[in-house]
Amino acid sequence: MKDYFDLNGDGGSDVMGQVIALRKAIKQNLSSVNHLVAVGSGKGGVGKSTLTMQIAAALRRRKCAVACLDADFNGPSLARLAGLRDAPLLPGRHGLVLPKSSTGIGILSLGSVVPETEAVDFASVASGDSHVWRATKEFAMLAQFLATTEWGTLDYLLIDLPPGAERCFQFAEFLGHGTEFVLVTIPSEVSHGVVSRSITALGKAKASIIGLIENMGGYVCSGCHTVRPLFPPTNTDPARIPFLGSIPFDPELARRCDAGEALLPHDDSPVTKAIDAAVDNILSTLNERIAV
């Protein structure tokens, strides 16, 4: 068998041709998507998936056509949050049929097809290099999802990113300059530190950042329904980027997420109001950019 270095050119695979064709297919398939917004952080467990869903719900309340792609292939959770854990991913006339929540939000998540008891495993060709192979497979899968899903006409496609500051960079490079990033932190110095790295990584990729949402900035007291402090004050300030708003921790929202009800109306709650205010800021930034 030939060693990798013995291959002449692309070894006859026309790999560049395939990459270019796939890029073209992605562009074509996303041509009716108005805005691509990636929700990242670098840090895990800070509420990226939760806020992706809440932003989607807020956009839907404004009558926008919206879908979410769960790009956290190793730890997909959007299917559970949307109550779509058993939604099959079926081939349609023009590609993969996009499962929809009862509120009309498209959700593409591996959590719909891989049970939570199973690890999402990207089989490796070589044990020592499995991390390299895994990353390659992940991006190949992302490309396939983007190129072959029947997204339809969308105002917003939200992409829920996996944790890892370097992943922000990789996704920014992969998704290209049409993608806008929203970052999520919790009010802790540990989280601020990671998010700060992600901001630097996105800067290196020349990515466009809309701003930062602080999640769990206080909690909704179940007794008095007011927002009370949750984290101690910090000495760090990650906001080298515009601040979009602070979302409180709401035990009822946590319950709804676990129960698959994250997209159902949660009207008049402090979370809904805070999300609406953050979405106002996201939209005004996007509108300003269009106007320029």
Q: Is 112 in the site for ligand ADP (CB under 6 A)?
A: no
Half-sphere exposure of 4 (CA within 13 A, CB side): 1
Burial of 247 (0-12, 13-18, 19+ CB in 10 A): buried
User: Which string of x and - marks every residue 70-109 that binds ligand ADP (by CB under 6 A)?
Assistant: -------x--------------------------------
66, 110, 257, 263: residue in contact with ligand ADP (rule CB under 6 A) = 257
Distances (CA, A) of 139 to 67, 122, 132, 184, 229: 19, 11, 11, 22, 40
79, 216, 244, 278: residue in contact with ligand ADP (rule CB under 6 A) = 216
Tell which positions 230-249 bind ligand ADP, by CB under 6 A: 247, 249
Q: Which residues of 124-158 are buried (b: 16+ CB within 10 A; e: fewer)?
A: eeeeeeeeeebeebbbeebbebbbbbebeebebbb
Tell which positions 115-154 bind ligand ADP, by CB under 6 A: none
Q: Is 217 in the site for ligand ADP (CB under 6 A)?
A: no
In single-letter form, the type of residue at position 128 comes to G
Closest CB to ligand ADP among residues 29, 52: 52
Distances (CA, A) of 143 to 67, 140, 209, 223: 16, 5, 22, 47
- Angle CA(208)–CA(211)–CA(212) in degrees, nearest 5? 135
101, 170, 215, 285: residue in contact with ligand ADP (rule CB under 6 A) = 215
Q: Phi and psi for 100 in degrees, rounded to 5?
A: -125, 145
30, 38, 46, 227: residue in contact with ligand ADP (rule CB under 6 A) = 46
138, 180, 250, 261: residue in contact with ligand ADP (rule CB under 6 A) = 250
Q: Which stretch binds ligand ADP (CB under 6 A): 48-56, 85-93, 97-105, 189-197?
A: 48-56
- Nearest approach in angstroms of CB 11 to ligand ADP is 39
Q: Which stretch binds ligand ADP (CB under 6 A): 114-122, 125-133, 169-177, 250-258?
A: 250-258
Which residue's CB atom is positioned nearest to ligand ADP? 47
Total Cβ atoms within 10 A of residue 260: 16
**Where are any strands of DSSP class E within the chain?**
33-40, 66-70, 106-108, 154-160, 179-185, 208-220, 227-228, 243-249
44, 152, 178, 265: residue in contact with ligand ADP (rule CB under 6 A) = 44
Query: Binding residues for ligand ADP, how many (CB under 6 A)?
Result: 17
- Nearest approach in angstroms of CB 256 to ligand ADP is 8
Q: Which stretch binds ligand ADP (CB under 6 A): 44-52, 135-143, 221-229, 276-284?
A: 44-52
26, 36, 37, 50: residue in contact with ligand ADP (rule CB under 6 A) = 50
Residue pair 55/279 in contact (Cβ under 8 Å)? The answer is: yes
Cα 279 from Cα 285, distance rounded (Å): 10
Closest CB to ligand ADP among residues 207, 257: 257
Q: Which residues bind ligand ADP (CB under 6 A)?
A: 44-50, 77, 215-216, 247, 249-250, 253-254, 257, 271
